[in-house]
Amino acid sequence: MRLYRSPHGPFFTRCPPSENPYAETGYNRTAAKVKEWAGKFGGRTAATPKAAAEGQDFVMCCVGNDNDLRAVTLGADGAFAGMKKGATFVDHTTASAEVARELSGAADKAGSNSSTLRCPAARPAPKTAY
């Protein structure tokens, strides 16, 4: 199984390399953060979300807000452009329901025939989320 995760705090750093059964590739908008993560946990790095998502079975993402989520998923270098057919996109961003619906439609239009799951992280969801 191949997995792309956006290294974002302790949520993404649970396994030391010797115990990690997954081949992980990370991307972060701050290159130094993903390099530090790769050095500590043995993952590979990618220069764009598209490159990180290419060939992966699961693509996991956690960013700050709706606009950040759009920035890493949409467009020529976005994760959706690199996802293979049948891959699953898991979003841990506490974002709006509007962007979740928008990105689900965008994934469908990208032709990847992939699944999108919305799994917000620890903060309470905004009142407009549901």
pLDDT digits (tens, 9 = 90+) for 49-66: 999 999 888 888 888 899
Is 130 within the bounds of a domain?
Answer: no
Q: What is the mean pLDDT of the chain?
A: 77
Of 104, 78, 82, nearest to 91 by C-alpha is 104
Total of domains in the chain: 1
Average pLDDT over residues 7-35: 69
Q: Is the pLDDT of residue 12 over 60?
A: no
The range of the structural domain enclosing residue 98 comes to 2-123
Helices (H) and strands (E) in the chain — how many of each? 5, 6
- The owner of tokens 């994934």 is 107
Q: At what angle do helices 66-73 and 97-109 cross, to 10 degrees?
A: 10
Q: Are strands 23-26 and 88-91 parallel, antiparallel or unpaired?
A: unpaired
Average pLDDT value for residue range 25-47: 88
CB contact set of 54 (below 8 Å; sequence gap of 6+): 82, 83, 84
User: Quick check: pTM over 0.85?
Assistant: no
Lowest mean pLDDT, pick from 2-6, 8-12, 49-53: 8-12
DSSP state, 129? G
Taking residues 62-85, what's their average pLDDT?
92
CB 101 within 8 A of CB 67: no
Whether residue 71 is contained in a domain is answered as yes
User: How confident is the model at residue 117, as a pLDDT?
Assistant: 63
For position 79, which CATH number holds? 3.40.50.720
- Taking the C-alpha atoms of residue 114 and residue 53, their distance in angstroms, rounded to an integer, is 12
Is residue 3 over pLDDT 60?
Answer: no
pLDDT at residue 122, as a whole number: 53
Q: Using CA of residue 69, residue 77, residue 81, residue 28, what is the dihedral sign?
A: negative
- The per-residue pLDDT for range 83-112, each reduced to its tens digit, is 988 888 888 888 888 998 898 888 877 766
Determine, yes or no, domain membership for 128: no
Q: Which residue has the higher pLDDT, 63 or 128?
A: 63
Cα distance between the two ends of the chain:
32
